[in-house]
Amino acid sequence: MENNILEVQDLSMSFFNSHGELPAVNHVSFSVKKGKTLGIVGESGCGKSMTSLCIMGLFPQPPGKIVGGQILFQGRDLTKLPAREMHKIRGKGIAMIFQEPMTSLNPVLTIGDQIMETILLHEKVTKAEAKRRALEMINLVGIPMPEKIFASCPHQLSGGMRQRAMIAMALSCEPDLLICDEPTTALDVTVQSQILSLINRLKNQLGTSVMLITHDMGVINEMADEVIVMYAGQVVEQAETAELFAHPTHPYTIGLIRAIPMLDTEVEELNVIPGSVPMLYELPEGCLFAPRCPYATDKCRSHRPEITEATPGHSVRCFRYMSGWEGE
Amino acid sequence: MSEPLLQVSDLKKYYSLKTGKLFGGRTTVKAVDGISFELAAGQTLGIVGESGCGKSTLGKTIIRLIEPTSGRITLDGEDFTHLTGAELKKARRKMKLIFQDPFASLNPRMTVKDIIGENIDIDHTYATKAERDDRIREVMEMSGLNLDFMDRYPHEFSGGQRQRIGIARAIVLPPKLIICDEPVSALDVSIQAKIINLLKSLQREMGLSYIFISHDLSVVKHISDRVAVMYLGHIMEISDKASLYRSPQNPYTQALISAIPKMPGEATGEKIELAGDIPSPADPPTGCCFHTRCMHAMPVCSQEQPELKQVGPDHWCACHLCKQCVSV
């Protein structure tokens, strides 16, 4: 499709170790539209970070290996690109912001050097020009006194400032797609709201598409245009944000939304999902969610459902929404 | 009103820091600066605030893991502040602590049984080993732990399970008060809901009081009866939770509540975006500690520190603006 900047089709990535093949990303398909935000939500271990690392070609390799599917970025399949070509795309075409800015910034280089490094690598510019652009980026992300921050090392900055510096670096070559992997999880709420509105502002200003990975349903609601919910390496539900919250369909999504304490309503007991996320080496035979699902039938325990459209634009991986469902 | 279980009055914890100058001056960090509150038996006091506001230091100072600089802690009618030796040990039985990081707070070389039983062993509560093991089994069941895992080591457990071990350890000698320091912050939402439900049911069964420290306002609202909001070592506002969340008086509380990413169905008022970060506790602003980020700051705010004033039946707020609204 023309207006999809990124299309992931049937992507599978597995780790190979003493347990055998562990499907960390399991037949995942989705697309990111130009200028839009796609939210990926799920609990830890559901494969959301691994999916983004596959796109960047940064997953540990070995033991990881892409075993199927393709990642189409602007019409080119990233899984087949040689390393040299990937270098050109990382940072220029697709940039990424990580959860913990302290561990992703180089502690012995100044912020300015790190931003300039990206620019010098991808663009044919002089050092002076790169410095001017780096300062401009630092200014753009709302850091007061750009010159001072330019010459500071990461440890001299607060968490919010570091995350801003990361964003400045990621956006310095005006990427077409920005992947944010839990960009605000390590930050306080007041700083989180600053960073989220910054990402939104820059998205509109620069026309960047955003892929936002988070475990926080509230962040998804406020940021994303479209959402996919992941569970144990699979996409279990996909819809536009308003539709997903209005009609959550997959039992996992419903459980997840109900487990969050709400600010406005008062309940004595929070809803819980029984059991826990299965380990990759002990995945159940049937539907991956069946052992924890209140509606599971024998069919669920023996067969894996495919993802299908329940209503137009709203897909779900559950037998309840397919013809021939008998249990309840 | 009956005698409160815990009374904290004017509690202070100052740290002395070298400034780094030659022939150096020293500076004090006021981590906890004049905190007073009361906690009734069977009640939960939530303490919220951003990182660096002193909420964890407060928790540890109350149980005297960190010695307070000055102030008074009265537990169950007894002055806890100056107890030493055997008396302190005896009084500490009434107060337990649950930590944030279930990975760092359990000894990796002890079995679950011994971790939970350590309190009993130190205390020689039970005469025979059989009685001791029975008690351990009992609390493991109460905490929702599988009895088959008694002889396993902490690394074999997931985060939620480890937090249950921490809870079992805290209740094995029935305490009156448990200080929970961010007990669910490291957990996924569905696990978080289970731990919160467990804490609430234990409270009902055993009549426990909690001091629940967290940065998550929704979780605090769910579990607490009263809530205190901290900023740079001060209580900015303390109130029963209904009144605090319905009509927050302090501009900081208002900003904090508005900054939470909302789910659909939750009232989304105007977002108040605070500029900047929390100032360094080593160099706090004069006057009201919040005036550097406050949108209502007046000249008086930078000169005079506001006192906690009663603004409602059980609602106190420290802000110069609140002078006008007091009519109780």
Question: Does some domain include residue A268?
Answer: yes
Q: Chain A interface residues facing chain B, Cβ-Cβ under 8 Å?
A: 43-44, 158-161, 188-194, 196-197, 215-219, 221-223, 242, 245-246, 255-257, 259-264, 267-273, 276-277
Q: Find residues 50-79 of chain B whose CB sits inside 8 Å of chain A.
A: 50-51
Task: Return the minimum-mean-pLDDT range out of A48-62, A124-138, A172-186, A267-281.
Answer: A267-281
Task: Return the minimum-mean-pLDDT range out of A311-315, B226-230, B321-325.
Answer: B321-325
The answer, for B191 touching chain A at a CB cutoff of 8 Å, is yes
CA distance B241 to B253: 12
Question: Does some domain include residue A107?
Answer: no
C-alpha distance from residue B236 to each of B6, B9, B46 (Å) = 20, 15, 13
State pLDDT tens for residues B188-203: 888 888 899 999 999 9
Question: Does some domain include residue A145?
Answer: no
CA atoms within 13 A on the CB side of A89: 23
Contact A264 B266 (CB under 8 A): yes
CA distance B32 to B289: 13
The answer, for B248 touching chain A at a CB cutoff of 8 Å, is no
CB-nearest partner of A270 from B196, B245, B273 = B196
Task: Return the minimum-mean-pLDDT range out of A219-223, A304-308, B324-328.
Answer: B324-328
Mean pLDDT for the stretch of residues B274-299:
84
The proportion of chain B whose per-residue pLDDT surpasses 90, expressed as a percent, equals 30
Give yes or no for a contact between B215 and A190, defined as CB atoms under 8 angstroms apart.
no
Cα angle B131, B133, B137; round to 5:
115
Say yes or no to pLDDT of B149 above 80: yes
What is the distance, to the nearest Å, from the Cα of residue B210 to the centroid of all Cα atoms in its chain? 8
Could you give the residue ranges of the DSSP H alpha helices within A105-246?
A: 111-122, 127-140, 146-150, 159-171, 189-206, 217-223, 241-246
Give yes or no for a contact between A295 and A249, defined as CB atoms under 8 angstroms apart.
no
The whole-number pLDDT of residue A2 equals: 62
Say how many domains are in chain A.
1
Average pLDDT, chain A: 87
Which residues of chain B are within 8 Å of residue A222 when distances are taken between CB atoms?
261-262
Say yes or no to pLDDT of B210 above 90: yes
Q: What is the pTM of this model?
A: 0.85
Question: Does some domain include residue A126?
Answer: no
Written as six digits, the tokens of A67 are 């075993």
Specify the residue for token string 């202070």: B12
At residue B294, what is the residue type? C
What is the band of B325 on the pLDDT scale with cuts at 50, 70, 90? low
State pLDDT tens for residues A235-262: 999 999 999 999 999 999 998 888 888 8
The whole-number pLDDT of residue B125 equals: 80
Higher pLDDT, B172 or B268: B172
The whole-number pLDDT of residue B323 equals: 65
Mean pLDDT for the stretch of residues B135-143:
90
DSSP line for A56-99: HT-S-TTTEEEEEEEEEETTEEGGGS-HHHHHHHBTTTEEEE-S
Burial of B315 per CB tally in 10 Å (0-12, 13-18, 19+): buried
- Dihedral of CA B118/B121/B123/B128: which sign? positive
The answer, for B20 touching chain A at a CB cutoff of 8 Å, is no
State pLDDT tens for residues A274-311: 887 888 888 888 899 998 888 888 888 888 898 888 88
What is the band of B177 on the pLDDT scale with cuts at 50, 70, 90? very high
C-alpha distance from residue B136 to each of B141, B170, B283 (Å) = 9, 12, 48
Higher pLDDT, A179 or B265: A179
Higher pLDDT, B29 or A187: B29
List phi, psi (to 5°) of A160: -65, -40
Say yes or no to pLDDT of A225 above 90: yes
Question: Does some domain include residue A141?
Answer: no
Say yes or no to pLDDT of A327 above 70: no
Mean pLDDT for the stretch of residues B304-325:
83
CA distance A313 to A226: 10
The whole-number pLDDT of residue B328 equals: 43
Contact B264 A191 (CB under 8 A): no
3-state secondary structure (DSSP) of residue A149: helix
Q: The domain spanning residue A228 has which CATH number?
A: 3.40.50.300
The proportion of chain A whose per-residue pLDDT surpasses 90, expressed as a percent, equals 23
DSSP B143: T
The answer, for B47 touching chain A at a CB cutoff of 8 Å, is no
3-state secondary structure (DSSP) of residue A49: helix
Burial of A42 per CB tally in 10 Å (0-12, 13-18, 19+): buried
Which residues of chain B are within 8 Å of residue A189 when distances are taken between CB atoms?
50, 215, 217, 256, 259-260
Say yes or no to pLDDT of B20 above 80: no
Question: Does some domain include residue A239?
Answer: yes
The proportion of chain A whose per-residue pLDDT surpasses 70, expressed as a percent, equals 98
The whole-number pLDDT of residue A39 equals: 93
Written as six digits, the tokens of B251 are 């501009």
State pLDDT tens for residues A108-158: 999 999 999 889 988 888 999 999 989 988 888 877 788 888 888 888 887
What is the band of B268 on the pLDDT scale with cuts at 50, 70, 90? low
List of domains in chain B? 6-94+175-323 (3.40.50.300), 109-170 (no CATH)
The answer, for B203 touching chain A at a CB cutoff of 8 Å, is no
Domain span holding position A317: 4-93+173-321
Question: Does some domain include residue A244?
Answer: yes
Question: Does some domain include residue A150?
Answer: no
